[in-house]
Chains A and B, each alone.
Chain A
């Protein structure tokens, strides 16, 4: 879609002034750039592989935008580009930008997102990072043209630690998996434990090989491993960092002492959860299920929020001009209703969307953070994650 700034805004103002006038709707183009995930063998028969994760959320949001747009004479188009490898993503990004796309939703890992953001052609574009949780993208590696929809790891960790503090489960056994993402998740938990004055009673790496998932009497060896791993330790709650989903499900009930599990498994801090139905979320769960034929995941929700944020900025700002949309997204006037009971806004210091964080297990919503009693001079949502005085992001 070519960038057509001034005249469109003018035309739109005219159209809004006389809604009865039937004219060609003003088009808002949204790019969707993703790296196709590598196929992973599911760990369990319980979870079938998720098809088209992320982009399905964007499609539901597109339909929501269109409904609003219908009444405002705006129409939205989603230009999807899901690429198999990093080189193809960069080529697709260049092609999108050359074609005039300036508002792009991304589902990319951190290094690739930075490469796209640093393309010279992307100078006046706005990227909506729909799926990453990396703190470094909100810190030292932040970029002015990137906004982040999902909560950062720091926000997730703070949401959990606030809950543990309220429950007075103040002593934590931290178990970290072998991956880089596990380390980043565990680091966020360590920082958060210091912030909310919880004690990490023991900090242990998980070093057992996951091995074959299906073996006869395999439960005996995993039961023995976890019991040995947790023996002789005194703690209130086991917090696990297993982002690759290799062993987290195998901890509950196997610990030596009876202790609850939280973190990437058990009680999980997250932006979206299957049992979540509050604040009208039932409607989004139902709309998504109907369109995608499967339940909504967190990445789907991130993409939904990204496309809805663009829709909100276009209809509120009454402009299809990408520059105006970008400016509106960052302005204090912007707010997103995303089924969390309160308005979501972007933090000006790092482009992170402020939001409550759910605490849920696979079958029930347990709590929502920030927990009552954690106060903040400006917004209680800023008790989650990196606040302005401590940010390392320089925009």
Chain B
């Protein structure tokens, strides 16, 4: 009995430990990053950064995050120990989204204002080269092996597949209007591309560079124009994809096998970007208009909590 009690106590103690993680939310309007404790979901800090922070990714050593401060025209490195901006990395004008190479050494940054993707050597802190892409580059995805980079361009409405070794385009795939986010599946076989204005998600075969399926979202009582897919998150088992639908105020739960929408989760207003907790049991979503973060139980497919953050929350990243 005593051992059981102890085991139970240990379990209780271990449960929050499993959530020893922090969430960082970029607030586009406030020029701040909100830090949230993963266990308590309480806001623990608000950090001033450069102007218009949007895209945010964690370094692979877990020590820092990279933030696209769009109106400051550079990328800031936030040290997670001190919660202070310790370094500035260069980019092109108006950096919006970025992705890190699997080895953590190279940052690929989409510069919305100059039709270029900047390739940044993180250690040296310099732009190694620039790759010309379509008009208004936006989404950035990288294959699990780091060999293929996918960039979306909003006005050109394409997903550009780029060989990271040669930095040359391999293929240009026409997708829905105003593509936003590009995500490789964990097996690297598919790229999911959301189209904000098109209202669709294009599933692109990474081998043949063809659109194998286009997912539509018809929500009863919601006008078609309000369905504006942006954030995409695919579960580690690759069975379920979550798609944030912007002003439709919902996240679609998509079966990756059949491409059927299983459920729509009602979240805050203008839901934009998504991130899983480290154990992938929770999904976090930023709601730009209602200024909060929705917390979703991934197994139960339920929205469990809303955490108020700064004004116009844009991106979210989870760090240990």
What is A's interface to B at a CB cutoff of 8 Å? 19, 64, 67-68, 71-72, 280, 282-283, 286, 308, 312, 315-316, 335-337, 341-343, 376, 379-381
Residue numbers in A under 8 Å from B169 (CB-CB): 71
**B224 and A379: CB pair below 8 A?**
yes
**A337 and B113: CB pair below 8 A?**
no
**B158 and A71: CB pair below 8 A?**
yes
**A343 and B135: CB pair below 8 A?**
no
Pick from A19, A64, A316: contact of B155, CB below 8 A: A64
Residue numbers in B under 8 Å from A67 (CB-CB): 115, 134-135, 153, 155-156
Within the complex, what minimum Cβ distance (angstroms) separates B188 from chain A? 21
**B134 and A68: CB pair below 8 A?**
yes
Overall SS of chain A's interface: helix
Residue numbers in A under 8 Å from B297 (CB-CB): none
Q: Does B178 contact A (CB under 8 A)?
A: yes
**B225 and A343: CB pair below 8 A?**
yes
Q: Does B157 contact A (CB under 8 A)?
A: yes
**A64 and B135: CB pair below 8 A?**
yes
**B171 and A342: CB pair below 8 A?**
no
Given contacts A280-B154, A283-B113, A343-B225, contact A71 B134 (CB under 8 A): yes
Size bracket, chain B contacts: 20 to 34
Within the complex, what minimum Cβ distance (angstroms) separates A377 from chain B? 10
**B156 and A337: CB pair below 8 A?**
no
Residue numbers in A under 8 Å from B198 (CB-CB): 335, 337, 343
Q: Which 6 pairs show the lowest CB-CB distances between chains A and B?
A: A71-B172, A342-B225, A337-B197, A337-B177, A337-B178, A68-B156
Residue numbers in B under 8 Å from A286 (CB-CB): 113
Residue numbers in B under 8 Å from A312 (CB-CB): 157, 177
Q: Which one of A280, A343, A380 has the highest number of Cβ atoms from chain B below 10 Å of its Cβ?
A: A343
Residue numbers in B under 8 Å from A280 (CB-CB): 112, 136, 154, 178
Residue of B nearest to A335 (CB): B177
Pick from A337, A379, A380: contact of B157, CB below 8 A: A337
Residue of A nearest to B225 (CB): A342
**A283 and B136: CB pair below 8 A?**
yes
Residue numbers in A under 8 Å from B154 (CB-CB): 280, 283, 337
A280, B113: Cα distance in complex, Å: 10
A286, B199: Cα distance in complex, Å: 26
Residue numbers in A under 8 Å from B153 (CB-CB): 67
Q: Does B228 contact A (CB under 8 A)?
A: yes
- Mark B222-240 against chain A: 1 for CB-CB distance below 8 A, else 0: 0111101000000000000
- Mark B178-209 against chain A: 1 for CB-CB distance below 8 A, else 0: 10000000000000000011110000000000
A286, B115: Cα distance in complex, Å: 13
**B113 and A343: CB pair below 8 A?**
no
Within the complex, what minimum Cβ distance (angstroms) separates B222 from chain A? 10
Q: Does B38 contact A (CB under 8 A)?
A: no
Which of B161-185 touch A at CB < 8 Å?
169, 171-172, 174, 177-178
A123, B178: Cα distance in complex, Å: 34
Residue numbers in B under 8 Å from A341 (CB-CB): 197, 228, 247
A308, B157: Cα distance in complex, Å: 12
**B228 and A68: CB pair below 8 A?**
no
Residue of A nearest to B70 (CB): A282
Told that A68-B157, A71-B134, A312-B177 touch, could you supply 17 new A-B pairs with CB distance under 8 A?
A19-B172, A67-B156, A68-B135, A71-B160, A280-B178, A308-B155, A316-B174, A335-B177, A336-B177, A337-B178, A337-B198, A341-B247, A342-B225, A343-B225, A376-B223, A379-B223, A379-B224
Within the complex, what minimum Cβ distance (angstroms) separates B3 from chain A? 60
Residue of B nearest to A61 (CB): B155
**B226 and A342: CB pair below 8 A?**
yes
Residue numbers in B under 8 Å from A335 (CB-CB): 177, 197-198
A194, B160: Cα distance in complex, Å: 50
A167, B171: Cα distance in complex, Å: 51
A312, B198: Cα distance in complex, Å: 12
A286, B178: Cα distance in complex, Å: 18
Residue numbers in B under 8 Å from A68 (CB-CB): 134-135, 155-158
